[in-house]
Chain A
Amino acid sequence: MILSNGNILSPSTHDRFLTGILWCFSLLASLILGLILFFLVYNSLPVLWDIGISKFFLDSSWHPSEALFNLTPMLVGSLLIMLGAILLAAPLGIVSAIFCRFYAPKVIAVFYQSLIELLSGIPSVVYGFWGLVTLVPLIQKVNPPGTSLLAGIIVLALMILPTVSLIADATFANLPKEYFQGAAGLSLSRFTLLTQIILPASKSGLLTSVILAAGRAIGETMAILMICGNIAQIPDSLFSPVRTLTANIALEMAYAMGNHRSALFVSGLLLMVIIFALVSLAHRAGKGSVYA
């Protein structure tokens, strides 16, 4: 570790060798990202040259076969579903992690933890299928057509709940022991310990968990495709169908030609921009960490 430091006058050959390999691999990893970005931009360019950027936000609707390319409804749909799912899953996930670590008896905590881990392992298409045959008919009885923003939010919240909960739990586990010992020394109540010490101290970790969950939410495709109705419109209520950027690509990519195909790559590019924003947010949240 110390030997590989650049300050050492004569690093061993082993270290040089290792450094070289590490350089190669990290270069390869970043190259792949670069290639994906290049591929997205390269495939989007034809339509961007052809009709310009403004049409993607100002056209009257998304009907690519009639040369109408408005992506705003999909952008709004993606963001609304993500926000809704976060609003549901973040409090639930954090509270469940608190329960698991500070309140539950050991046996229950272990069982509960493995349950959450199992939840995170269920494939998204299973959630989608459950949504389609159970949740959508239920919502349909309240307010047709059932395939809606609400269905998407509920299913997505279920899917990202484990991400929030597991990362929150890991954050709590990483808190310095001294905090707890100090609190015990002051004979603080468990509630005070929680609200005055633990939560403020793990603020940045919790924020990171939420942002990572948001990243998963925005990229989800299969389940959303099955339960959201996929209408390219800005929803006027929770019961309106919506289409996300990911569903837009999955629905139409197989059949798209020419400008239509290019426009779908623009959807992908837009998704990348959102993910990039989320990741840099997570990065900034992580910097404010108390213990890092």
Chain B
Amino acid sequence: MKNSKRYLNLTIALLFVFFLPATSFAAELKGKLVLTGSSTIAPLAAEIGKRFESLHPRVRVDVQTGGSSRGVADARRGLADIGTVSRALKPNEQDLLSFTLAKDGVAIIVHQSNPIKKLSNQQIIAIYQGKIKNWKTVGGNNRPITVINKAEGHSTLELFLKYFGLKNSQIKPHVIIGDNEQGIKTVAGNPNAIGYVSIGSAEYSATHNIPIKLLPMKGVPASIKNVANGTFPLSRPLNLVTKVVPRGLAKEFIDYSLSNKVHDLIQRQYFVPINP
């Protein structure tokens, strides 16, 4: 009995020796970190958050969606420690600090059976304005075009409109969709449709037997590679934004997110890592 008690004491002492440094390290980082904003970034931020939590057991990372505009608003009002914004900051948002986590491209997609090889910017604009109504006009089959647009508020829509210099009220769509997945399903089910979605989800679907095709922009093939090297024109940065210079937990999290330790997570979400 006495012996076993002594062993127990010894074990406890050893445990302290081995784990004390670890616990004191973890004690430096504790608390809850709230990220809100872009629904594009949310899954990635959640994955990074999980890995960050496993490194620092006393930290909780809470990721919420609501769109890039919410990311900006929440970071500004201090409702979130970090806002997530899937576009470059607007001129009136320069009061915030941004850290580019990765890049995302927007790909124009059509059905795989569509013989169209490429479309010029003018043609895309005319199609979306309803001035070109038939694929025949741009060298395709004699079939009416089904134009797919995104619902208001999505940053994909904002990026698309800004790039082509359009206003949403000028677009004459036949279908309005919510998320990327719905857009891909709609195009896959309609041989005459044209739409636009995040390049990561488009490339994933196109290589996984879903009958869609990504069109090149200005001669640059729509691919993750070309977004990474900056040649693909229709792309956007995925930003973490803060109101003040990040300190403590927020700084640790941002440093970790910008490191190459999360490249595999970024690639798994079909985004493009840019930080060395």
Contact = CB atoms under 8 A, between A and B. Distances in A.
Partners in one complex: yes
Interface string A64-82: 1110100000000000000
A251 B67 contact: no
A66 B189 contact: no
Nearest to B174: A145
B186 A132 contact: yes
Interface string A122-155: 0000000000110011001000111100000000
B200 to A, nearest CB: 20
Given A144-B190, A145-B193, A257-B70, A231 B153 contact: no
Interface string B70-91: 1001000000000000000000
B141 interface: no
A145 B152 contact: no
Contact of B66 (A140, A229, A255): A255
Residue of B65, B169, B175 contacting most chain A CB atoms (<10 Å): B175
Contact of B189 (A64, A136, A254): A136
Contact of B168 (A63, A140, A144, A257): A63
Interface residues of A, number: 31
A257 B69 contact: yes
Contacts of A231: 173-176
Given A133-B189, A144-B190, A257-B73, A64 B175 contact: no
A211 interface: no
Contacts of A113: none
Given A66-B168, A145-B174, A147-B174, A255 B67 contact: yes
A226 B182 contact: yes
A254 B178 CA distance: 10
Contacts of A146: 146, 189-190
A140 B178 contact: no
A61 interface: yes
Nearest to B67: A255
Interface in A25-79: 61, 63-66, 68
Contacts of A165: none
B177 A255 contact: no
B185 A132 contact: yes
A194 B178 CA distance: 48
A133 B190 CA distance: 10
Contacts of B168: 63, 65-66
6 contacts: A64-B152, A66-B169, A132-B186, A145-B175, A252-B152, A254-B65
The 3 closest A-B pairs by CB, nearest first: A255-B153, A255-B67, A230-B176
Interface of B: 39, 65-67, 69-70, 73, 143-144, 146, 151-154, 167-169, 173-178, 182, 185-186, 189-190, 192-193
Given A144-B146, A254-B39, 19 more contacts: A66-B169, A68-B169, A132-B185, A132-B189, A136-B189, A137-B189, A140-B192, A144-B190, A145-B146, A145-B190, A145-B193, A147-B186, A241-B174, A243-B176, A255-B70, A255-B151, A257-B67, A257-B73, A257-B153
